[in-house]
Structure 1
Amino acid sequence: MKPLVAIVGRPNVGKSTFFNRMIGERVAIVEDMPGTTRDRLYGDTDWNGREFTLIDTGGLELGSGIPVGQVGLTGQPGDLMDHVMSQAQLAIEEADVIIFMVDARSGITAADDEVADLLRRSTKPVVVAANKADNAERRLDVVEFYGLGLGEPTDISSIQGTGTGDLLDRIVEALPPASEMEEEEDENIPRIAIVGRPNVGKSSLLNAVLGFKRSIVSNVPGTTRDAIDTEVEFGEQKIKLIDTAGIRRRGRIGVGVEKYSVLRSTRAIERCDVALLLIDASEGLAAQDTHIAGIIHEMGKGVIVIVNKWDIAQEQIRAEREGIYPDPDDEIQSAESYRKALMGALKFIPYAPIIFASAKTGYHIKSILETALKISDMRYLRVPTSRLNEVVQEAVRRHHPAAVTAMKPLRVYYATQTRVNPPTFVFFVNDPRSVHFSYERYLENRLREAFSFYGTGIRIFFRARSSKEER
């Protein structure tokens, strides 16, 4: 797991500008107006060999959605200090290191004092970053921030980039040792994450597996806020189940706790071996379902698409037929048509099995666990190099790679498997730039056909063979 570094501060101190500079791209919207950042944003970066996840916590908005900088001008109710403290508390609970960003131009404000008071009582490392120190005079004024009682402030300019290297040095020094960030997981225990949009039945599925109420179950979306790990035995096999909060589209992520819930869900996918992607059968596939499936695919995880609440969907079908119970074969036909529609929408994960289930009635719960364990085993499959190259050479003979414009024709020399979980293969070629994405997909499909990589993502990399090897 990568350590988490949260940027905390009142509105318009330059958190998003700093975030964008560290991530290396303009991800956060930056405007000279308090409350511009409405969504939680995060991205991975590294410094001096240490990778970590950086979070832009946004503009400390009120629950009403009105930027705190406008409170008092609009006459809307709300307690600024209570809100500042609640937001800071969230960052403290989640982060390994906290960047407390202040404005070198305006000096210490009442809001800064409130957050600093909370941070002083925490056990988390805090680094004070005095932003907008754009000239020598402002850099001298930074000494004022010693008064926050959080140690030496570091003067930076997010726009100019000055001082950011010193700040990153301090962040890396404060990070937990890399050995502490490595989860001591037993490789023999498969980790299965239950993910999906809010209110699709994730906690209900966990409870159905466990046979008792381990998680709060409610029809109010967003009940589960933390990723909850539960160990359970299935037959003679131990399984670690990770129940997560619902993942919403970024534009619909609310302030406060829910912003961090989305991050926890995404990190749960990162931690797991197999993700159970729940879809509400009564609502059908939503755009956010496809987005979550994309996250799972990009991380190379195993995946099962679970069409939950299938009993409700069947009741709806019967109701549409005016209470007339259809022929028993009709349920099979409706499931097959539903399956085809899902496969068409999720064509980038054609390897994912689809299971129709009901957490409420227990329908197909056992099948879900059995399938998840098969996929987990498949992720540790090692393919003999000789057999791998037989399959690769046969694939090349069947479909020779076409020449890419302005590139030399692709030649595939040999391939090798470099790791498992997920299965990872390296193809040595004359020029990796000549590999068209369609040919990469073709080779992946051939590997799946030959070695039955059922339900799991696999990774393929292309490397140039050295001139010495070519000779």
Structure 2
Amino acid sequence: MALVAIVGRPNVGKSTLFNRLTEERRAIVDDQPGVTRDRLFGEVEWTGRTFDLVDTGGLVPRSAERFDAAIREQVVLTLGEADVILFVVDTLTGTTEPDQEVAKMLRRAEQPVIVVANKADTEGRKNDAAEFWGLGFDQMFPLSSVNGTGTGDFLDAVVAALPDEPERDESDDAPRIAFIGRPNVGKSSLANRLLGQTRSIVTEIAGTTRDSVDARVAWPSGGEDEEPREVVLVDTAGLRKKAKVKENVEFYSTLRTQRALQACDVAVLLVDAEQGLEGQDARVLREAAALRKGLVIVVNKWDLIEDKETNTARDMERGIREKMGLLDYVPVVFASAETGQRAGRVLDIALRVFDERRKRVPTARLNEVVEKAVQRQSPPSYRNNYVRIKYASQIRTEPPVFAFFANHPQGVKESYRRYLENQLRAAFGFEGVPLTLSFKQK
């Protein structure tokens, strides 16, 4: 999917534009400059075309202050990935020296650059926006991110500037398995081990993989008479270049991870055995679950753990599951990409999760399980009324979605939804697969 990057100096309304285009209130919006410290990633659909959108922090050229320097480098990294660049300026202030400096950087970009003259809420400000033609770019659109004025023509131009989408083979149903995780946890090493050949640069330095690598492998099926199964491995490792600022390593890794998550069926999160599951790992895992991808956790570099005892793996897995919270349905594998220990098992389990994600439960059997679950524990009352779940049906696979029809669907609280989900998992499996339970009026 094509990537569009929003750049510009602080306080010109980049985050507001991001929210307008993605129709979400995910970015921090504030009158103080420099508020957006975390770049955000979203998806935009316009006239049948979908593209990824990344919001960056404010770009401050020639600033020696560390935070501004970090933002500048992050934007440069983003431009290395983007297909179209949105250069946001402010009609209230007009062209400033920082705008000129940003324009100088962007004029060297190979990608199309579209100038967004933001805060053009009135006819007068739209007229004032004409001065931004002086920045030297072919396209400029005055608009208001706050009320949406002018965004239609602007989005038409963005879509027209996107590169052609590659043709997709609709018959290609090969599972797409993405390796995700922090830099230097062994994503490339595991991909190479499974491929049986070096397809990525593997070194001890974090972030040395120049591009994400999609590679196909014919993986042996379980039975002797079964044909090998074609699998697409997505290696999402690190950086185009070694960044000077630590935050940029995380930013670029996050950008690549986000894009890989959108394209994959199953996300395999690699965790360093010596460090365990950290906060960043848990956030990525929750993000993959929110996208309803299949999930597997691999504790890599298990060979480096010395003095292992009988219960070492069990105790570490228990600690990981405690940090995962509600994602306790995710399988955990202890492996070593370096030695090959259980490397094959990683892919076997990922494929099992892929199949579980495609599973369809017979309606009669589903209602039998739901009926027993309700008899065992009834839903709490809602406004002094009994809540009755009358019927259930699986309405989708990949990912699985279940519809429950009730007399008071709004009365089914989160705790009871969780109870029903656990009952479904106990009866039907769905290992490593996020489930969606939808409650409708009957």
- Most deviating of 133-142 and 334-343: 133-142
Correspondence for 2:320: 342
Equivalent residue letter for 1:367: R
Q: Distance in 2 between matches of 1:283 and 1:67?
A: 27
Closer/same/farther in 2, CA of residues 263 and 181 from structure 1, 3 Å limit: farther
Task: Tell me the percent identity.
Answer: 45
Correspondence for 2:115: 128
Q: Distance in 1 between matches of 2:204 and 2:4?
A: 33
Q: Distance in 2 between matches of 1:187 and 1:13?
A: 44
| TM-score scaled by length of structure 2 | 0.84
Equivalent residue letter for 1:403: S
1:262 aligned onto 2:261: no
- Structure 1: 5+ residue stretches without partners: 72-77, 319-329, 466-471
Q: Secondary structure at the match of 2:232?
A: strand
2:186 to 193, 201, 204: 201
- Structure 2: 5+ residue stretches without partners: 221-227, 240-244
Correspondence for 2:131: 144
Q: Distance in 2 between matches of 1:409 and 1:45?
A: 42
1:221 to 179, 195, 206: 206
Q: How far 1:149 sits from its partner (Å)?
A: 4.9
Equivalent residue letter for 2:87: F
Correspondence for 2:304: 312
Q: Distance in 2 between matches of 1:454 and 1:337?
A: 21
Correspondence for 1:60: 59
Q: Distance in 2 between matches of 1:181 and 1:464?
A: 42
1:101 aligned onto 2:88: yes
Q: Distance in 2 between matches of 1:25 and 1:181?
A: 31
Q: Deviations over 1:76-109 (max 9, x none)?
A: xx9x9xx69x9467436423x4322223333375
Q: How far 1:268 sits from its partner (Å)?
A: 1.0
Q: How far 1:385 sits from its partner (Å)?
A: 1.4
Q: Distance in 1 between matches of 2:51 and 2:10?
A: 24
Q: Distance in 2 between matches of 1:146 and 1:61?
A: 21
Closer/same/farther in 2, CA of residues 183 and 419 from structure 1, 3 Å limit: farther
Closer/same/farther in 2, CA of residues 446 and 246 from structure 1, 3 Å limit: farther
Q: Is the 8 A contact 2:195 2:217 kept in 1?
A: yes
1:9 aligned onto 2:8: yes
Closer/same/farther in 2, CA of residues 211 and 5 from structure 1, 3 Å limit: same
Correspondence for 2:217: 232
Q: Secondary structure at the match of 2:391?
A: strand
Q: How far 1:295 sits from its partner (Å)?
A: 1.4
Q: Deviations over 1:396-438 (max 9, x none)?
A: 112111114x474322121111221122211122232111111
Q: Deviations over 1:23-69 (max 9, x none)?
A: 44262354544x5543322234555676544321222257965366x
Q: Secondary structure at the match of 2:404?
A: strand
1:435 aligned onto 2:412: yes
Closer/same/farther in 2, CA of residues 371 and 64 from structure 1, 3 Å limit: farther
Correspondence for 2:108: 118
Q: Aligned residue pairs: how many?
A: 425
Any residues of structure 2 matched to 1:236-247 within 5 Å, and which?
236-245=228-237
Correspondence for 1:300: 292
Q: Distance in 2 between matches of 1:187 and 1:30?
A: 45
Q: Distance in 1 between matches of 2:384 and 2:168?
A: 44
Correspondence for 1:280: 272
| TM-score scaled by length of structure 1 | 0.79
- Most deviating of 291-300 and 57-66: 57-66
Correspondence for 2:362: 384
Q: Secondary structure at the match of 1:331?
A: coil
Q: Is the 8 A contact 1:426 1:461 kept in 2?
A: yes
Q: Is the 8 A contact 1:133 1:157 kept in 2?
A: yes
Q: Is the 8 A contact 1:59 1:67 kept in 2?
A: no
Closer/same/farther in 2, CA of residues 207 and 51 from structure 1, 3 Å limit: closer
- Most deviating of 365-374 and 98-107: 98-107
Q: Distance in 1 between matches of 2:341 and 2:65?
A: 41
1:453 aligned onto 2:430: yes
Correspondence for 1:28: 28
Q: Is the 8 A contact 1:422 1:458 kept in 2?
A: yes
Q: Distance in 1 between matches of 2:157 and 2:229?
A: 44
Correspondence for 1:468: none
Q: Is the 8 A contact 2:16 2:27 kept in 1?
A: no
Q: Deviations over 1:245-282 (max 9, x none)?
A: 369xxxx9624x75343122122122212211111111
Q: Distance in 2 between matches of 1:407 and 1:462?
A: 19
Q: How far 1:190 sits from its partner (Å)?
A: 1.1
Q: Which structure has the greater CA radius of gyration?
A: 1
Closer/same/farther in 2, CA of residues 453 and 166 from structure 1, 3 Å limit: same
Closer/same/farther in 2, CA of residues 88 and 425 from structure 1, 3 Å limit: same
Q: Distance in 2 between matches of 1:137 and 1:261?
A: 43
Q: How far 1:304 sits from its partner (Å)?
A: 1.6
Closer/same/farther in 2, CA of residues 146 and 88 from structure 1, 3 Å limit: farther
Q: How far 1:340 sits from its partner (Å)?
A: 1.8
Closer/same/farther in 2, CA of residues 403 and 187 from structure 1, 3 Å limit: farther
Q: Secondary structure at the match of 1:377?
A: helix
Correspondence for 2:377: 399
Q: Deviations over 1:172-192 (max 9, x none)?
A: 565568xx4785465531111
Correspondence for 1:167: 154
Q: Deviations over 1:366-399 (max 9, x none)?
A: 2112212222122221112122112111211121
Q: Distance in 1 between matches of 2:343 and 2:199?
A: 16
Q: Secondary structure at the match of 1:400?
A: coil
Correspondence for 1:326: none
What value does the CA root-mean-square deviation take over the aligned residues?
A: 3.2
1:333 aligned onto 2:333: no
Closer/same/farther in 2, CA of residues 218 and 440 from structure 1, 3 Å limit: same
- Most deviating of 142-151 and 453-462: 142-151
Closer/same/farther in 2, CA of residues 253 and 402 from structure 1, 3 Å limit: farther
Closer/same/farther in 2, CA of residues 134 and 448 from structure 1, 3 Å limit: closer
Q: Is the 8 A contact 2:357 2:433 kept in 1?
A: yes
Q: Secondary structure at the match of 1:397?
A: helix
Q: Secondary structure at the match of 1:401?
A: coil
